[in-house]
Chains A and B, each alone.
Chain A
Amino acid sequence: MPEVAVSSPASRGLSDRLSDLLWSRQGLLILLLILPPALWLGIIYLGALFALLAQSFFSIDPFSGLINYEFTLRTYGELFRAANLDIIVRTVLMAGCVTIAAMIVGFPVAYYAARYARGKWKALFYLGVMLPLWSSYLVKVYSWKLILAKEGILSWLFETLHLSWLLDAYLLLPVVGGNSLSVSWTGTFLVFLYVWLPFMILPTQAALERVPPSMLEASGDLGARPGQTFRHVLLPLALPGIVAGSIFTFSLTLGDYIIPQIVGTSARMIGQAVYQFQGTAGNIPLAAAFAVVPILIMGVYLYIAKRMGAFNAL
């Protein structure tokens, strides 16, 4: 290595000695390596999480609107008012629906990519999932505003196929319908499904790739019909990957406040409640208490996922 030889002797002496010290004391080296990231994450991230937790135990003075910095559980009590419970139940239901739909839509893509795609097609499938995953979140939401708008492409498609009556009948349905798709729960659901789908496909595909094809063949040789092989062999083996994907779809839906704000009804979800309480309402304690709800739900969810072996599939 000629470049090494030219470096100046003085600086080499110092760096050599420092190097010897670190090499002989591996613990010190590890400490030096880990200290900057641990400090950054520990102070900024964990510190902020504790600040959030602390705020949720404060309350807001109903007359002055100022934060009362005294320990109280009153703010958490407010979560159990009917209006706030509604928000929580609605959000969890939506997260559940989106997760189940993502499993159904994502599975064939993951299965085809894992088992049948080879060479060029494999790369195509990989990029075909990666590009939507990484492309701009807001642009993706925006594109659905274009699609679902009253004068947009979906209405046009129904009209061209002479099926407008079907769309109109669907919009008249309670709960899922509305004035147009862009202000209905169906719209919110479709956008959530679209935006989080790649997060389901990637871990599912990874789990399916680890299933040896010989097992499927053995199952068939032993007389199982394709449906039985799917239910008793393929699905149990892929389950950790699917559960891992569901962690993302569930958690991301739980905390999102932008999608229901842009496409959806006026009824709020947890994210919107947090955003409004900390912003316009200036009620940071209640916003903080609301933010603790998804943390708790995800805590339970992660515990169950861990029991099902999802972490080995990540």
Chain B
Amino acid sequence: MHSDRASLGLKIAAAAGLLFMHLPILLIFVYAFTTEDKSYQWPPPGYTLKWFSVTWERPDVWEALSLSLRVAAISTVVALVLGTLCAAAVSRTRFFGREAISLLVILPIALPGIITGISLRSAFNLADIPFSFWTIVLGHATFCVVVVYNNAVARFRRTSGSLVEASMDLGANMFQTFRHVILPNIATALLAGGMLAFALSFDEVIVTTFTAGQQQTLPIWMLEELVRPRQRPVTNVVAMVVVLVTFLPILGAYYLTRGTEMVAGQGK
């Protein structure tokens, strides 16, 4: 432990841990090209691009994708507004109930997803609310707030309060200060938070099964295929596309918050 060089055992254990986290995902990419369509045979007997065109012509995949994108977009907007407001209030001042508010924001992801799901389901049941597009959004926006909040709160803490005071002293009113001073300072944090919220909503399945009724988001479509497989190669292709689609916002969020604080991932 004296030297600054890691022991061989530690290196191997660390590398093995990283490989354990990555190899399974890479495997999906190979399976998307397999010619075998009845089983999960390894190694694949042959490779083909056929399943990409088959998937392209499946209307159910497109409908599920479209619903997922719409839900994620609206939930992200709601989460951005609520998360930013909450972060602004909590980071600027101390007030009665401040601790309670920050606990309330974190609770939807601290408790297991199934509790959020069954709670919303019971509430809809008691209030006689039928399932719709908006019941899905209600659930998603609720647990997306925390991601935006975490990113925004970290940035607000680093943004000096004297900037705001200087702006007001120079005659700008509050809205101008927000537009020209605060917003440019927190913009990248909000963008990163928004991207992560989008990725979180796009991928969510546990809460969604309780709030969607008969509607199919893309994760619910995948869950159906996992429980009752119809055309396995199509599932493989969709899985690969989902991995690629969620990697982009994660990488984007990483580059936006890089060098500031490692907060991007604390949300989930």
Contact = CB atoms under 8 A, between A and B. Distances in A.
Interface of A: 1, 3-4, 12, 15-16, 18-20, 22-23, 26-27, 30, 33-34, 36-38, 40-42, 44-49, 51-52, 54-55, 105-106, 108-109, 111-113, 115-116, 123, 125-147, 149, 151-153, 155-156, 194, 197-199, 201-202, 206, 216-217, 219-220, 226, 229-230, 247, 251-252, 254-258, 261-262, 271, 274-275, 278, 284, 287-288, 291, 294-295, 298, 314
9 contacts: A44-B120, A45-B107, A139-B25, A146-B28, A151-B39, A217-B1, A251-B110, A278-B118, A278-B210
Contacts of B210: 278
Given A45-B142, A146-B40, A294 B112 contact: yes
Interface of B: 1-2, 4-6, 10-11, 13-14, 17-18, 20-22, 24-25, 27-28, 31, 39-43, 78, 81-83, 85-86, 88-90, 92-93, 95, 101, 104-105, 107-108, 110-116, 118-123, 125-127, 138, 141-142, 145, 168, 172-176, 180, 196, 199-200, 203, 205-206, 209-210, 219, 222-223, 226-227, 235, 239, 242-243, 246-247, 250-251, 254, 258, 262, 264-266, 268
Given A3-B180, A23-B174, A34-B101, 6 more contacts: A33-B86, A45-B107, A140-B25, A152-B41, A230-B1, A256-B113
The 8 closest A-B pairs by CB, nearest first: A255-B112, A108-B13, A19-B173, A112-B14, A48-B119, A109-B17, A19-B174, A51-B123
A314 to B, nearest CB: 8
A257 to B, nearest CB: 6
B104 A4 contact: no
A45 B115 contact: no
Given A51-B119, A143-B28, A147-B24, A216 B1 contact: yes
B118 A135 contact: no
A20 B104 contact: no
Contacts of B222: 138-139, 142
B265 A130 contact: yes
B112 A51 contact: no
A291 B89 contact: no
Which of B121, B180, B210 has the most C-beta atoms of chain A within 10 angstroms of its own C-beta?
B121
A34 B89 contact: yes
Contact of A37 (B145, B219, B223): B145
Contact of B25 (A51, A52, A143, A271): A143
B116 A252 contact: no
B172 to A, nearest CB: 7
A149 B203 contact: no
Which of A27, A33, A284 has the most C-beta atoms of chain B within 10 angstroms of its own C-beta?
A33
A158 B123 CA distance: 50
Which of A26, A105, A206, A255 has the most C-beta atoms of chain B within 10 angstroms of its own C-beta?
A255
A288 B138 CA distance: 20
Contacts of A47: 123
Contacts of A111: 10, 14
Contact of A33 (B88, B105, B115): B88
A22 B175 CA distance: 11
Main secondary structure of the interface of A (DSSP, over half): helix
A142 B89 CA distance: 41
A258 B175 CA distance: 47
Contact of B11 (A112, A140, A254): A112
Contacts of A3: 180
Nearest to B139: A44
A16 B177 CA distance: 11
Nearest to B4: A116
A251 B28 contact: no
B268 to A, nearest CB: 6
A133 B145 CA distance: 18
B21 A291 contact: no
Nearest to B7: A226
A128 B22 contact: yes
A26 B199 CA distance: 35
B80 to A, nearest CB: 11
Which of B1, B82, B180, B199 has the most C-beta atoms of chain A within 10 angstroms of its own C-beta?
B1
Contacts of B168: 23
A151 B125 CA distance: 44
Nearest to B36: A151
Which of A38, A216, A254, A256 has the most C-beta atoms of chain B within 10 angstroms of its own C-beta?
A38
Contacts of B18: 109, 125, 128
Which of B2, B90, B118, B199 has the most C-beta atoms of chain A within 10 angstroms of its own C-beta?
B118
Given A45-B104, A262-B227, A133 B268 contact: yes
A217 B173 CA distance: 55
A33 B85 CA distance: 5
Given A23-B168, A45-B108, A48-B120, A136 B239 contact: yes
Contacts of B113: 255-256
B173 A20 contact: yes
Contacts of A255: 111-115, 206
Which of B24, B121, B142, B223 has the most C-beta atoms of chain A within 10 angstroms of its own C-beta?
B24
Given A48-B119, A258-B205, A109 B173 contact: no
Nearest to A219: B1
B24 A54 contact: no
Given A19-B174, A37-B82, A256-B112, A149 B2 contact: no
